[in-house]
Amino acid sequence: MDILQRHHVSTYGSGEKALVFAHGFGTDQQAWRYVAPAFAARNQVVLFDLIGAGRSDKTAYDFSRHQTLDGYVNDLLELLRALQLPKVVYIGHSVSGIIGVLAAIREPALFERLVLLAASPCYINDGDYIGGFDTADLEEALGFLDRDYYGWSHAMVPGIVGGDMRSELVDEVVSSFCEVDPAIARQFARATFLSDYRTELSKLRIPTLVVQCAQDTVAPSVVGHYMHANLAGSKLEILNTTGHYPHLNAPVATISSVERFLASA
């Protein structure tokens, strides 16, 4: 199976610029359906599933390779090379935002701009740094996920998505989480929530937009301010919405934020 099939890549739209959308933990490329089409009239749109998610080739998931985010970084770089596109605008939600940062540090020639949507370089509170979780609380949550992934998904995801998300979308996100193999979810969750990439931010030299939600229990708005302060030349937008999924919960505001960033080129 070639790499495009492996990631279930789908493309549409037209234009010289290519926008690559990368989903976060627990969802797949369908999470972009309210946002990505808005850019298709003037841009190429590229959607894909992380290995282990959506309609990706699940047999390509490697418990050694994907033990840390480096495995996903390697996947992304291989995918971008295979697409043979000019420099791309990469739009990454949550953990995929940081995957994009790490990839752009390693191979900046592949990237024109980055958009980090509800991303975080570190989820654990550490001294003056507020990541959103105390270590003990996070370990308790990961222990629950380890013991009963489906129970964890039904209990935790509604709170993560935000209180003002439509009920049918909440149900959809819960279902998306439940479609992930629990063994893969357990490892990906630890690779995500126990990671700390704060020291990497200063190495990025690609123009970046940081988009954070005003109220987000997973990646608080203060995290957005931290990334903005540590990403040279970055821009910051705080969306007046709740939860961790602004592309589902506030797609119009998300689209507008990205459009302003692209227009500022």
* Residue 149 identity (one-letter amino acid): Y
- The string of pLDDT tens digits covering residues 160-181 is 988 778 889 999 999 999 999 9
DSSP state of 46: E
Question: How far is Cα 109 from Cα 84, in angstroms, rounded to an integer?
Answer: 12
* Residue 204 identity (one-letter amino acid): L
- The answer to whether 83 and 48 are in contact (CB under 8 A) is no
Which two structure tokens, joined as six digits, stand for 170? 């909440």
Stretch 41-58: mean pLDDT:
97
Stretch 54-73: mean pLDDT:
97
- Tell me the pLDDT of the chain averaged across its residues: 96
Question: Could you tell me the domains of the chain?
Answer: 3-121+197-263 (3.40.50.1820)
Which two structure tokens, joined as six digits, stand for 1? 């199976």
Query: Annotated active-site positions, please?
Result: 94, 216, 244
Stretch 111-118: mean pLDDT:
98
263 exposure class (CB count in 10 Å sphere: 0-12, 13-18, 19+): exposed
- The pLDDT value recorded for residue 193 is 96
